[in-house]
Amino acid sequence: MDPRAWRRFKKNKGALFGAVLVIFVTLLGALGPLVAPHDPNEQSRDVLLRDDGTPLGPTWDRAEGEPAEGHLLGGDTVGRDELSRLLHGGRVSMQVAYFATAIAVFLGLFVGVSSGYFGGAYDFAVMRLVDVVLSIPFLLIAITIQRVVDTPALWALFVLLGFLSWTTLARVTRSKTLQVRELEYVQAARALGMSEARVLLRHVLPNVLGPAIVIGTTLVAQMIIVESAMSYLGLGVQPPNASWGSMLREGQEMMGSANRLMVFPAVLIVMTVFGFNLMGEGLRDAFDPKD
């Protein structure tokens, strides 16, 4: 690792801010459930719902005489502690963001770089596979799995999301690899008698990583959103359990009367996405010596 890369990264204010955001949401996901003040699924209707059935707001937005000490952000529509749900929901969202994206990036890079570099029949076969995977309707698979398996494990969701999302990355890295492998420094490496593996790992891969990092960070955002759609279909997080995506969707129903139920998870998702994007671009620039 080049110490200058780290120095360039440190100088980039946006990238540092992104890294702070990423660390913050990651810690939320890792430690949130441990510090949550209440059971996220317990309905305290008498405490958190008003007489007319509307949920109690956060502490700074309550009428005179409304109690509920210790419920910092108030309750949701059925009287569950909002703060505890956000803290628990973060774990699922962050797991999806990390694991599903990791699967997609690894697969996409592997397939894209290898097919671009080796070409021929292998390239043809693999790229047709990409076409096939791209043509698979996401929902169809999700519903099928849900029908076949009663309560699919959470890891099934990561694997499914990962295996359906690597295609764009594979295409982009393939075309970049096609370009890089014809450059003279790759031929120079071969003329020096380096093994194919060495040429691939030392000379091709580092030079196609830039676009992969950027696509990878946008994938994180997509994964979090798609997870909420999946949980709606019965894959992934099931009610009453929470994830930021599913809380966002439930909150939408209360738009106008209790906007905060939508705004809280939305802010956290935006922080995650924004953080990963800024950090990703910072990483890309930091590893490019020309910057």
User: Which residues are near another protein by CB under 8 A?
Assistant: 183-185, 187-194, 196, 198, 202-203, 206-207, 287-290
Dihedral sign, CA of 14, 15, 20, 23?
A: positive
- Which residue's CB is nearer to another protein, number 148 or number 197? 197
In terms of Cα–Cα distance, which of 132, 207, 192 is closest to 164? Answer: 132
- Distance CA(54)–CA(52), nearest Å, equals 6
- Distance CA(77)–CA(65), nearest Å, equals 20
- Distance CA(196)–CA(180), nearest Å, equals 14
- Closest contact distance (angstroms) between CB of 290 and another protein is 5
- Which residue's CB is nearer to another protein, number 46 or number 184? 184
Tokens encoding 179: 């370009």
Give, to the nearest 10 degrees, the angle between helix 120-135 and helix 167-180.
150
- Distance CA(125)–CA(167), nearest Å, equals 14
- Which residue's CB is nearer to another protein, number 68 or number 205? 205
Residues in the chain: 291
- Closest contact distance (angstroms) between CB of 127 and another protein is 14
Tell me the residue type at 108. G
- Closest contact distance (angstroms) between CB of 19 and another protein is 22
- Closest contact distance (angstroms) between CB of 219 and another protein is 24
- Which residue's CB is nearer to another protein, number 85 or number 181? 181
The half-sphere exposure of 270 on its side-chain side, counting CA atoms within 13 A, is 7
User: Which residues fall within 8 angstroms of residue 77, CB to CB, at 6 or more apart?
Assistant: 55, 250, 253, 254, 258, 261
- Closest contact distance (angstroms) between CB of 113 and another protein is 15
- Which residue's CB is nearer to another protein, number 137 or number 289? 289
- Which residue's CB is nearer to another protein, number 47 or number 178? 178
- Which residue's CB is nearer to another protein, number 207 or number 222? 207
- Closest contact distance (angstroms) between CB of 144 and another protein is 35
Give, to the nearest 10 degrees, the angle between helix 101-118 and helix 120-135.
150
- Closest contact distance (angstroms) between CB of 34 and another protein is 41
